[in-house]
Amino acid sequence: MREVTYREAVREAMREAMRADERVLLLGEDVGRYGGAFGVSKGLLEEFGEERVRDTPLSESGFVGAGIGAALGGLRPIVEVMTVNFSLLALDQIVNTAALLRHMSGDQFGVPLVLRMTTGAGRQLAAQHSHSLEGWYAHVPGLRVLAPATIEDARGMLAPALADPDPVVLFEHAGLYNLKGPLPEAPAPVDIARAAVRRPGRDVTLVTYGGSLGKALEAAAALAELGVDAEVIDLRVLRPLDDATLLASVARTHRAVIVDEGWRTGSLAGEVAARLGEQAFYDLDAPIERVCSAEVPIPYARHLELAALPRVEGIVAAALRTLGR
């Protein structure tokens, strides 16, 4: 067991994948000489060379399209988009081509592409670098959407994503890159089809993912001091959602609070709430609560940014409301 950061865990996963399979390459802005905008790919250029670690022009539509072409040509590309906001410049390539090609080709072609991108706020990078648009991609059939919230998942999700014959979008919350924790020398395989129960409980279910997991766990600890035993579910896989784990949890606790850094309107939290309402209505003893970001562009000023994001005290208050307190 050794202590690593989330950033180092992602880097280690890429290094091992590239050592194991010569078809794996990394494309993106500044991924080579600069080592990635968030320092995730430092050292990979020196080890694998410019053929497999390629700095691209500042053109998301261009290099995502190149990644799709490389995947169709038999390679296993990892394409890094600096932030989710910038991925909107490649929506046509991602949604109209990568996600749909298996369907459009009558199952003749798949696009085994892994698209890594940073998401989330909390670092004073203002609106164009700070939004959480994971729910947009989770809306699209043909994509698998992952959100590793722990060091183990950051290290372990890449290999099964690369083995998937269809495109996988992997969201890394920028606020997690400096997170430190233990990682086994031989990490166990990660299931990229199931949610995880991060804290068992009996009174209320807190459902979240990515950068909000830490807040949910902190809220659960605060609730425990008030005599409330909260269960924390880490979705991990945003498409396809693991309904079974969610329904089993609500059947135990009879209450649910969904924490989502995305905006409330049209959010992934709304989808989770709808599924619980449809499939677990008679298990619920209180209305479902949602804790989301304020319906504003993420501000630059530190105090305003923090006020716009889900907060621990807001999660605690929502959970208490489900208990009539």
Q: Identify whether 9 is part of a domain.
A: yes
Catalytic machinery residues: 60, 129
Give the number of domains in the chain: 2
Question: Do 119 and 237 share a domain, yes or no?
Answer: no
Question: Do 203 and 318 share a domain, yes or no?
Answer: yes
How sure is the predictor about 213, in pLDDT bands with cuts at 50, 70 and 90?
very high
pLDDT recorded at residue 122: 86
How sure is the predictor about 123, in pLDDT bands with cuts at 50, 70 and 90?
confident
Question: Do 25 and 154 share a domain, yes or no?
Answer: yes
Q: What's the CATH number where 298 sits?
A: 3.40.50.920
Question: Of 157, 183, 209, which residue sits at a domain end?
Answer: 183
C-alpha–C-alpha distance, residues 274 and 222, integer Å:
27
Question: Of 183, 208, 243, which residue sits at a domain end?
Answer: 183
Question: Do 100 and 153 share a domain, yes or no?
Answer: yes
Q: Which of 243, 246, 218, 251 is nearest to 233 (CA)?
A: 246
Q: Name, in order, each residue with C-beta under 8 angstroms of 167's C-beta and a sequence gap of 6 or more.
A: 71, 94, 98, 99, 111, 112, 113, 114, 115, 142, 143, 144
Q: Between these two residues, 108 and 123, which has the higher pLDDT value? A: 108
C-alpha–C-alpha distance, residues 237 and 13, integer Å:
18
**Which amino acid, one-letter code, is at 191?**
D
- Mean pLDDT for the chain overall: 96
Question: Do 6 and 145 share a domain, yes or no?
Answer: yes
Give residue-wise pLDDT tens across range 24-61: 999 999 999 999 999 999 999 999 999 999 999 999 99
Q: Name, in order, each residue with C-beta under 8 angstroms of 157's C-beta and a sequence gap of 6 or more.
A: 13, 146, 148, 170, 190, 192
Q: Identify whether 188 is part of a domain.
A: no
**Contact between residue 6 and residue 154 where contact means Cβ atoms under 8 Å apart:** yes
Question: Do 162 and 259 share a domain, yes or no?
Answer: no
Residue 207 has pLDDT above 80, yes or no: yes
Residue 80 has pLDDT above 90, yes or no: yes
Question: Do 89 and 63 share a domain, yes or no?
Answer: yes
pLDDT recorded at residue 185: 81
Listing DSSP states for 160-198 in one string gives HHHH-SS-EEEEEEGGGTT-EEEE-SSPPP--TT--EEE
Give residue-wise pLDDT tens across range 270-279: 999 999 999 9
C-alpha–C-alpha distance, residues 220 and 241, integer Å:
23
Question: Do 158 and 213 share a domain, yes or no?
Answer: no
Q: Identify whether 189 is part of a domain.
A: no
Question: Do 6 and 142 share a domain, yes or no?
Answer: yes
Question: Do 167 and 313 share a domain, yes or no?
Answer: no
Q: Identify whether 228 is part of a domain.
A: yes
pLDDT recorded at residue 280: 97
Q: What's the CATH number where 163 sits?
A: 3.40.50.970
Mean pLDDT of 217-235: 98
∠ Cα 233 184 16 (to 5°): 100
| 266: alpha, beta or left? (left if phi > 0; alpha if psi -120 to 50) | left
Question: Do 19 and 113 share a domain, yes or no?
Answer: yes
Distance between alpha carbon 296 and the CA centroid of its chain, in Å? 21
Give residue-wise pLDDT tens across range 148-196: 999 999 999 999 999 999 999 999 999 999 999 999 887 778 999 999 9
Residue 287 has pLDDT above 90, yes or no: yes
The domain of 127 spans 2-183
C-alpha–C-alpha distance, residues 161 and 89, integer Å:
23
Q: Identify whether 230 is part of a domain.
A: yes
Question: Do 163 and 201 share a domain, yes or no?
Answer: no
pTM: 0.96
pLDDT recorded at residue 164: 97
pLDDT recorded at residue 188: 78
CB atoms within 10 A of CB 60: 23
CB atoms within 10 A of CB 68: 22
Question: Of 121, 152, 183, which residue sits at a domain end?
Answer: 183
How sure is the predictor about 70, in pLDDT bands with cuts at 50, 70 and 90?
very high
Mean pLDDT of 95-105: 97
Q: Identify whether 190 is part of a domain.
A: no
pLDDT recorded at residue 186: 78
